[in-house]
């Protein structure tokens, strides 16, 4: 892949794709739903721009990455924040050596040019001003305009995008004109017990089986009570308990109790059985 292209007389430096060790463990139907949104039923059709909704830590990014891998496409992850500016999303001017201005394409624009998949992670942390810069990309026009670089970039036919969005209070409301462009909505819920156990085993293959049993039971009890604890919390909980047992020779149950307090808080102790 070239690191630089010329576009309308402007040298544009491209970002490199993300190559991660991400596995998806869970329902295959949600991957199929995402792939269907990206599919084309005929040459005149265009891909949709789906969004994955769910609580933090349920695996939205892993799901999107796994779906992109099934398409055998390069993956570019853009981490959105409340400070994300339109130029961050598109093209940023950078002062290089000798005071030269270099225009650097974001991971999103690099995916557009190369025909990759962009995962716009935690998209609803961005302000409306940033979303407005993506409006023409998310409809039939399929392009972005960079005022900073003075160029218009059209998306490659193979370009696909998905936005992940957390279901929590620390986010912006999407403007309606973006809401209608980011469809369909695919809801990702907590995994079933057997799926959580498999995820824990993949991340902690060295763990004692009894610890994983306790953690899965803890998570399932918390899910039933509509608590926000996710399998990511479970991985951290099990990992810290293992470290306490290894470093300080603490017994299993006291280590788990300490780990629950340290990772998710003392209020969660009630979901840990027999402790």
User: Is residue 2 predicted with pLDDT exceeding 70?
Assistant: no
Total domains in the fold of the chain: 2
Same domain, 168 and 205: no
Same domain, 169 and 201: no
Same domain, 223 and 156: no
Same domain, 264 and 176: no
Task: Strand 10-13: give its sheet, edge to edge.
Answer: 4-7, 10-13, 101-105, 91-95
Same domain, 66 and 154: yes
Q: 172: domain range?
A: 4-187
Same domain, 214 and 104: no
Same domain, 177 and 198: no
User: Is residue 275 predicted with pLDDT exceeding 60?
Assistant: no
Q: Are 16 and 9 in contact (CB under 8 A)?
A: no
Same domain, 150 and 45: yes
> Which residues, 6+ apart, have CB-to-CB distance to 191 below 8 Å?
25, 26, 58, 59, 199, 231
Structure-model confidence comparison of residues 274 and 72, the more confident one: 72
Distances (CA, A) of 216 to 94, 223, 235: 47, 10, 10
* Candidate from 36-50, 57-71, 254-268 with smallest mean pLDDT: 57-71
Average pLDDT over residues 199-218: 93
Backbone angles phi, psi at 22, to 5 degrees: -120, 125
Residue 138: give its domain's CATH number. 3.40.50.300
Q: Are 152 and 109 in contact (CB under 8 A)?
A: no
Give the Cα separation of 114 and 88 in Å (integer).
18
Domain boundary among 131, 158, 187: 187
Report pLDDT for 160: 98
Q: List, in sequence order, every residue forming a beta bridge with 102; answer none if it has no partner.
A: 94
Report pLDDT for 39: 97
Tokens of 111: 């995916």
* Helix ranges, 39-145 (H): 60-70, 86-89, 107-114, 128-132
Domain boundary among 187, 212, 229: 187
Cis peptide before 184 (omega within 30 of 0): yes
Same domain, 8 and 93: yes
Within 10 angstroms of residue 190's Cβ, the number of other Cβ atoms is 24
109-135 residue pLDDT tens: 999 999 999 999 999 899 999 999 999
Same domain, 167 and 201: no
Domain boundary among 187, 220, 242: 187
Average pLDDT over residues 164-188: 87
Report pLDDT for 240: 96
Same domain, 102 and 38: yes
pTM value? 0.88
Share of the chain above pLDDT 70, in %: 97
User: Is residue 168 predicted with pLDDT exceeding 80?
Assistant: no
What pLDDT band is residue 21 in, cutting at 50, 70 and 90? confident
Q: State how far Cα 165 lies from the chain centre.
A: 8
DSSP annotation of 143: E
Same domain, 35 and 97: yes
68-108 residue pLDDT tens: 999 999 999 999 999 999 999 999 999 877 778 899 999 99
């Amino acid at each position: 892949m070239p690191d630089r292209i010329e576009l309308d007389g402007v040298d544009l430096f491209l970002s490199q794709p993300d190559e991660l060790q991400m596995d998806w463990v869970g329902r295959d139907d949600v991957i199929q739903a995402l792939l269907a949104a990206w599919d084309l039923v005929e040459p005149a059709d265009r891909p949709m721009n789906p969004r994955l909704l769910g609580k933090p830590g349920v695996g939205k990014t892993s799901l999107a990455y796994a779906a992109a891998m099934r398409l055998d496409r390069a993956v570019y992850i853009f981490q959105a924040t409340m400070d994300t500016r339109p130029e961050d999303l598109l093209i940023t001017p950078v002062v290089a050596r000798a005071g030269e201005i270099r225009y650097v394409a974001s991971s999103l624009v690099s995916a557009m040019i190369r025909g990759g998949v962009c995962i716009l992670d935690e998209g609803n942390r961005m302000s409306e001003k940033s979303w407005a810069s993506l409006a023409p990309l998310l409809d039939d026009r399929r392009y972005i305009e960079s005022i900073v670089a003075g160029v218009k970039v059209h998306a490659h036919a193979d370009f696909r995008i998905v936005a992940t969005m957390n279901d929590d209070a620390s986010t912006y409301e999407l403007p309606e004109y973006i809401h209608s462009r980011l469809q369909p909505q695919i809801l990702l819920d907590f995994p079933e017990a057997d799926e959580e156990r498999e995820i824990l085993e993949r991340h902690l293959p060295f763990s004692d089986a009894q610890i994983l049993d306790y953690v899965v039971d803890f998570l399932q009890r918390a899910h039933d009570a509509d608590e926000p604890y996710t399998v990511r919390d479970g991985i951290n909980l099990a990992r810290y308990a293992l470290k306490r047992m290894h470093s300080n020779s603490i017994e299993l149950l006291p280590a788990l109790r300490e780990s629950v307090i340290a990772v998710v808080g003392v209020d969660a102790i009630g979901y840990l059985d027999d402790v």
